[in-house]
Amino acid sequence: MTSRNHRGHNRMASSARENESLASEEGPCPTVSDSEENKILLEEKAMGVRNAFPKDLNDKAFARFLRAFQSVDQAFNAILRYLKWRKEFGVDLITVEDTDIKNELRSGKAVLLEEKDNSGRPILLVTAKLHHSKDRNLQTLMKFIVYLLETAGSQCDDEICDNFCIVFDMKDFSMNSMDYQFVKNLIWLLSNYYPERLGIWLIVNPPVLFSGCWVIIRSWLDENTAKKVIFISKPEQLAEYIRLEALPRNLFL
């Protein structure tokens, strides 16, 4: 292995250690921004558009918007943008019967697992090698991701854990699978329309060449989201977050 490869591995390993430490320090305690007082103020402010609320825009959702956007006014404006986007994108019309959704599910590139992670989060498993950036239709792919995020959200038990776990299986990853626009759009969706829904993002077995990709991706993440990204290189590491038997295959063979 060249010294450059060593540096790439060291960068990701260092990031993994740092993020594991940061993640372990996170707790469920509410911040000042999602206090009961602010939640009540936000609910009162949103009364005029309540008829447009999806089922999951509840007390927990208000708290997530408040944590993400830091003030009642900013959270309310974000909710208005969210409602407008849902209507324009046709979120409520996207179902498993949609031909695009069926085709994407058949590809196996992303799937919502039946079992949850060790913290009770729904698990979204993305298999990088099955994605080919030159062959994809971005609009179709984003519709599929919205379908998965909506489904994952519906499987969250708000009383236990109201966020989900995303796992990127990087085995046999090549630059043919690297899709910067897709990753950037995913981050944008999570930040703007599914705030605080990402509980943890596990990147399993990233190859050395991914270290350069990560430098770019990391620049798109705010500090709070970056803390949730964990690089995994060993089965025992992954087992801290997910029961290995819950996975459809061994990610380390």
Q: Are 229 and 19 a contacting pair, CB within 8 Å? A: yes
Q: CB neighbours (10 Å) of residue 192?
A: 14
Helix (H, G, I), strand (E, B) or coil at 127: strand
Both ends of the chain: CA-CA distance in Å? 21
Instruction: Fill in the amino acid letter for 132.
Output: H
Q: Are 141 and 184 a contacting pair, CB within 8 Å? A: no
Cα 247 to Cα 113: distance, rounded to the nearest angstrom: 8
Residues 6+ apart with CB under 8 A from 18: none
Give the distance, in angstroms, between the CA of residue 44 and the centroid of all CA atoms in the same chain: 29
Looking up tokens 């590139």, which residue turns up? Answer: 109
Residue 135 exposed, middle or buried by CB count within 10 Å (0-12, 13-18, 19+): exposed
Quote the pLDDT of residue 51: 67
Tokens in use for 123?
């698990």
Cα 91 to Cα 80: distance, rounded to the nearest angstrom: 15
Quote the pLDDT of residue 20: 42
Quote the pLDDT of residue 2: 44
Q: Read off the pTM.
A: 0.82
Q: Are 162 and 118 a contacting pair, CB within 8 Å? A: no
Cα 103 to Cα 253: distance, rounded to the nearest angstrom: 27
Q: CB neighbours (10 Å) of residue 21?
A: 10
Cα 201 to Cα 73: distance, rounded to the nearest angstrom: 29
State which residues of the chain have pLDDT below 50.
1-31
